[in-house]
Amino acid sequence: MKGSSWFFLIPMMLFLVLFYWLPLGNMLAFSLSLPLNKWVELTLGSQLFIQFFQFTFTQAILSTLFSAVIGTTTAYLIANWKSYFMRILSPALTVPFLLPPISILIGFVIIFEPGGVISGAFNLFGFNFSIFSNPWAIILAHTLYNISVYVKIMLTYFNTEPEGMNLILESFDGRWSDRLRYVLLPHIKTGFLSATLLVFLYSFNSFAIVLLLGEVKYQTLEVMIYTQTRVRFDFATGSIIAMLQLVFNILIIWLYLQLENRQKNKISGSSFHITSPNNLKRVSSTIFTILITLFTWTPILATFYQFTRLFEQANPVLKEKLISGSYENLLGTSPMQVLINTLFFAIASATVTLLFSVLYILYLQTNKHPRFQKIINLTTILPIATSGVTLGFGFILFYSPYIDLNSYVWVFIISAHLLAELPFVIRIIASSWEYIDTKFMIVARTLDASNWEIFRWISFPILRKSFAVGFIFALAISIGEFGSTYYLVTGRWMTVAAAIGRLFSSRTALLPVFYASILSILGFVLFFVAEQTTSIELKV
């Protein structure tokens, strides 16, 4: 049994080799084959690269800063000032982050574009706020999207302050400043840094928001990779930027994982408050939390409102085209086929991801070498460091000399979705695996139970919620995946998220708003099911 444990990993490892390590290794070899002076010329010698490199870091830092201030303040008030309606407001603040960025972006544009509600209010005071080619609009969109991360993570820490330390401070008439310095800050530091790295990583690798709002004037490294390789076909510049981005992403993820290992022992305990908040504090906290919730939900609500308004005004022919109409010139297929493609990619990739997860648990049941487990965990989590655009570029660079990618584009889209889903699902299930008592395994083996019987009667009953949440997360990731799909998709394999990107210039039309509403509804449903199954954690 021990010797056969590696057999369970063969399908997943074979997939990673074919669709991750070989394309990525080929891209690395291609970039390293370029002479050093070419690297210098395309990076430090390029004013455009320096400009966009500085913008990538600047917008990520400012987006993280604003998200941290608003999100941490909100979490503190909910936990310590005991906001009313906490059971409703806390999940509501998490929802926007779990929705596809492209659907949030549509609502954001509806609000702030010329003639929108916010733009109209600004114009009354003589202030013209344009969201296109405006770096502050990009930062605002990132902030709105990432507040949820700080609220969700920091709430856990604020609700688990060490009771013993607070009691000691109370017995010595400790002031609030002492509690802040000696209890609260040391307790929340690890969680705050983890949330900061997470938000910075998302903002640093932003694609959809910057591509569509920044237009040509403002680009992140991710958008640069797309424009250089997919628009200009400059593979040399694209590969160099992709490698630089990959190295930085690996560094951020490594720091995040180090902090996560430390925080496992930090979030035990129970909430403790030296004094109960008075009614004024509770009311103030509730009002502030409601305002932040409305702020994060405004794009979602605006999308539904815009769809309802446009649908009521549309003629019957246009309404019928939402499902049966032909949009070959814009999308390459019909709107209904776009919906079918989206569900097909989601179900197919999520099913394979779940299968890999089951095989991974079967491997863990028989393997007794923790060092090998760490290597496998590292191997499965590394795809997080590779952006969707880089994956798409890697597929084209490696496979295009050998096969017609247009004929098999669906295979590569499913593979890209799998690479986006697999690290999350494996980590969800691996975290639950740590709580399984190994004594059960030992007893089962003494009774000559097979590996499958151990899985059926011990592992699966304990891990079934984790499997369910992992499958739901995989569906959500695939449905909203934009980067690799937008980069690769051709012909009849268009998805909803990629279609919104293609139709973005006609965002006042009915179809893109309809698609954005569909994505939001699917996101709501998946979030609700996952929340009912178990507590949702935001992590890479």
What's the CATH number where 74 sits?
Answer: 1.10.3720.10
pLDDT value, residue 3: 45
Say how far apart CA 342 and CA 325 lie, in whole Å: 17
Domain end marker among 311, 342, 376: 311
Domain end marker among 287, 311, 335: 311
Examine the domain organization and report whether 474 and 334 are in the same domain: yes
Chain CA centroid to CA 9, Å: 26
Cα separation values, 36 from 39, 45, 50, 253, Å: 5, 12, 17, 28
Beta carbons of 362 and 8 less than 8 angstroms apart: yes
* Entry field: residues in the chain: 540
pLDDT value, residue 456: 83
Say how far apart CA 421 and CA 330 lie, in whole Å: 29
Examine the domain organization and report whether 348 and 497 are in the same domain: yes
**Sign of the CA dihedral running 524, 530, 532, 535:** negative
Task: Compute how many other C-beta atoms are within 10 angstroms of the C-beta atom of residue 414.
Answer: 18
* Nearest in space to 204 (alpha carbons), one of 239, 236, 259, 251: 251
Say how far apart CA 419 and CA 477 lie, in whole Å: 10
Say how far apart CA 21 and CA 284 lie, in whole Å: 53
What domain range includes position 96?
Answer: 34-311
Beta carbons of 397 and 27 less than 8 angstroms apart: yes
Examine the domain organization and report whether 304 and 319 are in the same domain: no
CA 490-492-494 angle, to 5 degrees, is: 65
Residue with tokens 């403790």: 272
Domain end marker among 311, 344, 367: 311
pLDDT value, residue 510: 81
Element (H, E) at 277: none
Q: Which two tokens stand for residue 165?
A: 């330390």
Examine the domain organization and report whether 162 and 277 are in the same domain: yes
SS3 514: helix
State the helix-helix crossing angle for 47-80 and 135-158, rounded to 10 degrees. 40
Burial of residue 486, with CB atoms counted within 10 A of its CB: 0-12 exposed, 13-18 middle, 19 or more buried: buried
Examine the domain organization and report whether 377 and 263 are in the same domain: no
In terms of DSSP H, where are the helices of 264-407?
A: 279-313, 316-321, 335-366, 370-381, 388-399
Element (H, E) at 404: none
Name, in order, each residue with C-beta under 8 angstroms of 36's C-beta and a sequence gap of 6 or more. none
Examine the domain organization and report whether 229 and 320 are in the same domain: no
Say how far apart CA 266 and CA 157 lie, in whole Å: 8
CA 450-451-454 angle, to 5 degrees, is: 90
DSSP letter for 26, please: H
Say how far apart CA 486 and CA 481 lie, in whole Å: 9
pLDDT value, residue 415: 95
Alpha-carbon radius of gyration of the chain: 24
In terms of DSSP H, where are the helices of 206-270?
A: 208-214, 221-226, 235-263
Examine the domain organization and report whether 178 and 301 are in the same domain: yes
**Sign of the CA dihedral running 453, 458, 461, 467:** negative
Examine the domain organization and report whether 9 and 55 are in the same domain: no
Task: Compute how many other C-beta atoms are within 10 angstroms of the C-beta atom of residue 69.
Answer: 13
Examine the domain organization and report whether 320 and 350 are in the same domain: yes
* Nearest in space to 421 (alpha carbons), one of 345, 497, 516, 486: 345
Examine the domain organization and report whether 2 and 40 are in the same domain: no
Examine the domain organization and report whether 204 and 64 are in the same domain: yes
What predicted TM-score, i.e. pTM, was given to this entire model? 0.88
Cα separation values, 413 from 301, 346, 348, 487, Å: 30, 10, 11, 10
Examine the domain organization and report whether 405 and 467 are in the same domain: yes
Structural domain tally of the chain?
2
pLDDT tens series, the chain, 540 aa: 444 567 888 999 999 999 999 999 999 999 999 898 889 888 888 888 999 999 999 999 999 999 999 999 998 888 877 777 777 777 788 788 778 888 888 888 888 876 666 666 666 565 666 788 889 999 999 998 899 889 888 888 888 776 655 555 555 555 666 667 767 778 788 889 989 998 999 999 999 999 989 888 899 999 999 999 998 999 999 999 999 999 999 999 888 888 877 665 555 555 555 456 777 888 888 888 889 888 888 888 888 888 888 888 877 877 777 777 667 777 888 888 899 999 999 999 999 999 999 998 888 877 656 667 677 777 888 888 889 999 999 999 999 988 888 889 999 999 999 999 998 898 888 888 877 777 777 777 777 777 788 888 888 888 888 898 889 989 999 998 999 999 999 878 999 999 998 888 765 578 888 888 999 888 888 887 877 766 555 555
Beta carbons of 380 and 423 less than 8 angstroms apart: yes
